[in-house]
Amino acid sequence: MTRTEASVLANAPDMRRLLDSELSRRSRFGYVALLLASSAMTVVVTSLWLTEPALPLRTQIALLIMSVIGLSWLSLSVWALTTRRVLLGRDGVLAGWMAVTFTATFVLGAALVGLSTGRPGAYAASLLGVGLLAVAVVVLMRARRRMASLMSRRDALKRELGTRE
Partner 1 sequence: MTRKSEANLDDRADSCEPLGDNRDLPFEAITVDPLGQDQTSSLRHKEDELLVVRCQLGERSAFEELTERWHLPLWKYVRRVAGNDDAASDAMQDVWLRVLRGIVRLRDGSKLRPWLFGIARNVLMDRLRQRYASPPPADIDLSDIGGDTIPDPLEEDMTALEDELARLPETEREVLTLFYLQGLSLSEVADVLRVPVGTVKSRLFRARHMLRRGLDQKGLRT
Interface residues toward partner 1, by CB under 8 A: 2-5, 8-9, 11-12, 14-15, 18-19, 22-23, 83-84, 86, 88-91, 147, 150-151, 153-154, 157-158, 160-161, 164
Rounded CA separation 84/65 (Å): 27
Cβ pair 133, 103 in contact under 8 A: yes
Least separation in angstroms between CB 32 and partner 1: 14
Least separation in angstroms between CB 75 and partner 1: 18
Cβ pair 99, 137 in contact under 8 A: no
Nearest to 77 by CA among 28, 41, 44, 40: 28
Minimum CB distance to partner 1 smaller for 119 or for 144: 144
Least separation in angstroms between CB 79 and partner 1: 12
Least separation in angstroms between CB 16 and partner 1: 8
Minimum CB distance to partner 1 smaller for 53 or for 165: 165
Minimum CB distance to partner 1 smaller for 14 or for 118: 14
Cβ pair 76, 34 in contact under 8 A: yes
Rounded CA separation 93/28 (Å): 13
Minimum CB distance to partner 1 smaller for 72 or for 159: 159
Least separation in angstroms between CB 37 and partner 1: 24
Cβ pair 136, 103 in contact under 8 A: yes
Rounded CA separation 97/64 (Å): 30
Minimum CB distance to partner 1 smaller for 3 or for 58: 3
Cβ pair 119, 113 in contact under 8 A: yes
